[in-house]
């Protein structure tokens, strides 16, 4: 539980910083400046593929390098500091001991902070960037060995063979800009589940009945496409440093 408490403190810190940046961003982009006058694009879409590791609780395990995670997302940057991301992701847990595969679907809404601008990474490279993201969402897991009706039971109220839960998520996304419309990225994300009732392999119920009852990591690599016709995207538009006297 000490580990989970530490993670929650980090999550709370990140969200607090994100909301502070949002407040600053709202002031920064208030009248007379409006979104249409911003010199950069604000929308992007992306896809990622990767794997998962560090699931807890489970009696069966996966290999970290196995490909079994797929993610698609849409992101809107309010300005070059803060934005929001909606994502959908799918995991297929292929256990090394031959246990029946578990599948997982999740949807998240996240706050995004452009750490490239915050840390002035552009002082060293105009192609390397870093995003931080954190938020919450809905997750569901099912295992065909224990259910013949899943995933038809998704989003239905009441107990069933699909294990539905809430989650908190936060992560880091290093980026490399190919051109003004495309960048490559890697992402590492930690997910903390709320009221996960089954272990990841579905062999047994979770030993914890409430609260934070499971967690896992996702890693992935992918690409981001920037939508719009302006000269660049908010990810790569940097706030000038304030001159020192």
Q: Quick one: 149 exposed, middle or buried, by C-beta within 10 A (0-12, 13-18, 19+)?
A: exposed
Percentage, residues of the chain above pLDDT 90: 62
- Full set of structural domains in the chain with CATH: 2-18+48-156+166-236 (2.40.160.20)
- What gap in Å lies between CA 72 and CA 176, rounded to an integer? 18
Q: How far apart are the first and last CA of the chain?
A: 49
User: pLDDT tens digits, residue range 101-139?
Assistant: 999 999 999 999 999 999 999 889 999 999 999 999 999
Q: How many other CB atoms are found less than 10 A from the CB of residue 180? A: 15
The tens digit of pLDDT for each residue in 140-179 reads 999 988 876 666 667 665 566 788 899 999 999 999 999 9
Q: Which of 1, 69, 59, 7 is nearest to 213 (CA)?
A: 1
Determine contact, residues 107/87, Cβ cutoff 8 Å. yes
The reported pTM is 0.83
Q: Which residue has the higher pLDDT, 194 or 243?
A: 194
More confident call, 206 vs 65: 65
């Amino acid at each position: 539980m000490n580990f989970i408490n530490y993670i929650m403190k980090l999550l709370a810190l990140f969200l607090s910083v994100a909301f502070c940046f949002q407040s600053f961003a709202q002031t920064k982009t208030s009248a007379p400046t409006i979104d249409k006058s911003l010199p950069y694009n604000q929308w992007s879409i992306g896809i990622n593929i990767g794997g998962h590791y560090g699931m807890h609780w489970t009696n069966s395990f996966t290999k970290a390098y196995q490909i079994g995670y797929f993610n698609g997302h849409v992101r809107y940057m309010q300005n070059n500091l803060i934005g929001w991301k909606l994502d959908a992701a799918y995991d297929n847990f292929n256990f090394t001991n031959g246990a029946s595969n578990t599948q997982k679907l999740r949807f998240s809404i996240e706050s995004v902070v452009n750490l490239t601008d915050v840390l002035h990474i552009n002082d060293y490279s105009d192609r390397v960037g870093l995003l931080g993201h954190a938020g919450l969402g809905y997750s569901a897991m099912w295992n065909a060995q224990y259910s013949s009706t899943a995933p038809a039971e998704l989003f239905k109220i009441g107990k069933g063979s699909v294990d539905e839960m809430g989650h908190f998520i936060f992560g880091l996304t290093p980026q490399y800009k190919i051109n003004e419309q495309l960048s490559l990225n890697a992402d590492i994300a930690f997910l903390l589940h709320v009221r996960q009732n089954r272990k990841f392999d579905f062999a047994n119920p979770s030993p914890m009945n409430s609260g934070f009852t499971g967690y896992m990591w996702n890693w992935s690599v992918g690409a981001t496409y920037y939508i719009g016709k302006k000269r660049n995207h908010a990810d790569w538009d940097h706030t000038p440093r304030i001159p020192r006297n």
